[in-house]
């Protein structure tokens, strides 16, 4: 049965919010209140999870608490004693490798940092642990006895957080980079024994002027990532 999108005004709102979400890496210093974050999480909690186990726990940091963690991690980043984070397999499947390369070209290209300049690249990467200057930093933790299916739940939760934030004019950047500093974060935030960092996230009002917030991250057309079976047309 055909669906008339015009008779579903909420569709255009939902689509617009989803389509306009970007990974934002430059923020205005304006604070975001605890109440606003609580409202966002209060929406995000409706993300589905296998058997409704809700495997998420989020540490919400602002002010001195955020600064203290960023300082610790900033020091660790400069000392460079932690093994590099291998968050993607090497080699990546070819099509994905090409997309990763394109991402690097757009991102570091916008900053004028050449591929061969490891020092400058490390400086850019280091901004992650400062939550890109955002007023709020989120650290998402998980009980590592859970399986990959709960990590799937977690991904749904993270996207719901980002969409709920976007809907009230806030911007976010999900950040796997924090995982490199698992040990420091777990100790500093007093994680329950064994808990792991899933990722971090910067949250705040976007710095409109930054070229970093206007990166053109293209997407594959639907036909390239879907196979329709059993449809008449
Ligand atoms: C799980 C996850 C981890 C990410 N980790 C980082 C990160 O550590 N640092 C960063 O700058 N961007 C990070 N990103 C943002 C991606 O680079 C970004 O989502 C991607 O390039 C697509 O761009 P868009 O989100 O603006 O559409 C991460 C995204 C996801 C989903």
Distance CA 220, CA 14 (A): 20
Number of folded domains that form the chain: 1
Q: For strands 136-142 and 57-62, give the pairing.
A: antiparallel
Contacts of 166 (CB under 8 A, 6+ apart): 17, 20, 21, 172
3 falls in which pLDDT band (50, 70, 90)? confident
226-231 CB contacts, 8 Å cutoff, 24+ apart: none
25 lines ligand 1 (CB under 6 A): yes
Determine the structural domain holding residue 135 and report its residue range: 21-82+129-212
Distance CA 179, CA 197 (A): 6
103 lines ligand 1 (CB under 6 A): yes
Residue 72 lies in a domain: yes
The CATH number of the domain holding residue 158 is 3.40.109.10
The mean per-residue pLDDT over the stretch 48-56 comes to 98
66 lines ligand 1 (CB under 6 A): no
The mean per-residue pLDDT over the stretch 213-220 comes to 94
Residue 5 lies in a domain: no
73 falls in which pLDDT band (50, 70, 90)? very high
- Rounded percentage of the chain residues whose pLDDT exceeds 70: 100
Predicted confidence at residue 5, as pLDDT, reads 82
202 lines ligand 1 (CB under 6 A): no
Residue 124 lies in a domain: no
User: What are the tens digits of pLDDT across the range 147-161?
Assistant: 999 999 999 999 999
Give 174 Cα–ligand 1 centroid separation in angstroms. Answer: 6
Q: Element (H or E) spanning 223, and its range?
A: helix 222-225
């Amino acid at each position: 049965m055909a669906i008339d999108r015009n008779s579903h005004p909420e569709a255009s709102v939902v689509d617009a919010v989803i389509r306009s979400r970007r990974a934002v890496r430059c923020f205005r210093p304006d604070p975001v209140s605890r109440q606003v974050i609580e409202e966002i999480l209060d929406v995000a909690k409706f993300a589905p999870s296998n058997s409704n186990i809700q495997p998420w726990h989020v540490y919400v940091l602002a002010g001195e608490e955020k600064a203290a963690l960023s300082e610790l991690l900033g020091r660790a980043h400069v000392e460079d004693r932690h093994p590099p984070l291998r968050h993607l397999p090497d080699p990546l499947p070819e099509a994905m490798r090409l997309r990763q390369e394109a991402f690097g070209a757009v991102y570091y290209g916008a900053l004028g940092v050449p591929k061969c300049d490891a020092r400058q690249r490390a400086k850019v990467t280091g901004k992650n642990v400062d939550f890109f200057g955002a007023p709020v930093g989120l650290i998402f933790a998980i009980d590592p006895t859970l399986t990959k299916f709960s990590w799937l739940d977690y991904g749904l939760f993270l996207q719901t957080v980002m969409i709920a934030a976007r809907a009230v004019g806030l911007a976010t950047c999900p950040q796997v980079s924090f995982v490199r500093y698992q040990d420091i974060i777990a100790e500093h935030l007093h994680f329950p024994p064994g808990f792991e960092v899933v990722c971090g996230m910067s949250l705040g009002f976007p710095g409109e002027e930054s070229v970093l917030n206007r990166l053109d991250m293209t997407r594959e057309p639907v036909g390239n990532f879907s196979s329709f079976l059993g449809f008449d047309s």
